[in-house]
Amino acid sequence: MTDIEYSYAVLDILEQLQENIRKRDNLKREARKKQTEEAATMAMLFSLIIPATLLIIFVIIETTDLISVTTFGETLDNPYIVIVGILLLCSSFAVYSYLFVMHSWRQGWIKFGAKRVKKRVYQAMNDQKNEIGLELKNILESGLLMHSRIPDKFLSVRSVTFLIRTQENNPEMTLEKAINKLEQDIKNKDSAHVLLGEDEIPLIERERQNRYLNFLAEIFE
């Protein structure tokens, strides 16, 4: 395998790694979305309890005459006014109950229900999580990355693409010389190629530190 072929092979595995990162990010977003949907369903069901209870009480009062209400005089004799009033009251309770439950969910006040929702969502996404996690493990344990001729700090799509272009523009240049040129360009600030911030950990090192099968854990803590 020539140096340029090797560089393309490394680029291919790094693109697979980037795709894996995208899959993880998408699964995290999907997990958060599913949790919110579950919470909204729970809030909706809870918000119907109070209005339903009020409606049942009203029906019991009207049908059994358990309570004689004369506070508003003849107003309560008008069934349409009574119905509209009850509907408005029930609607208000439903809306405020829903908003309260959703606010409590976001603030972390709901413990028991939240744990059940998170557990249900986590189990539903477990197979996808494991599949992506094992894919990441296989990528990072590939020979091209485990015994790379390219330093870890340059193991990114942008860096390797830069090395490939350098070799293509100079067919006689070896990979080692292309790496030295890149390092020199960065040191002299002649290259517009931005690699890392001062305290930033290289991509490949960050990925090696990842928990292969538990990258969703942060969402469910």
- The amino acid occupying position 36 is T
Burial class (CB in 10 A: 0-12, 13-18, 19+), 183: middle
Ramachandran angles phi, psi of 213, nearest 5°: -105, 0
Q: How far apart are CA 170 and CA 164, in angstroms?
A: 10
Let me know: does 90 contact 55? Beta carbons within 8 Å: yes
Burial class (CB in 10 A: 0-12, 13-18, 19+), 193: middle
pLDDT tens for each residue of 7-30? 999 999 999 999 999 998 898 888
- The amino acid occupying position 154 is F
∠ CA 169-172-174, nearest 5°, is 95
Per-residue confidence band for 73, with pLDDT thresholds at 50, 70 and 90: very low
Residue 188 gets which letter from DSSP? T
- The amino acid occupying position 177 is K
pLDDT tens for each residue of 175-219? 999 999 888 887 776 554 455 554 557 788 888 876 555 666 655
Whole-prediction pTM value? 0.69
Length of the chain: 221
Contacts of 107 (CB under 8 A, 6+ apart): none
Q: Which of 39, 46, 38, 35 is nearest to 95 (CA)?
A: 46
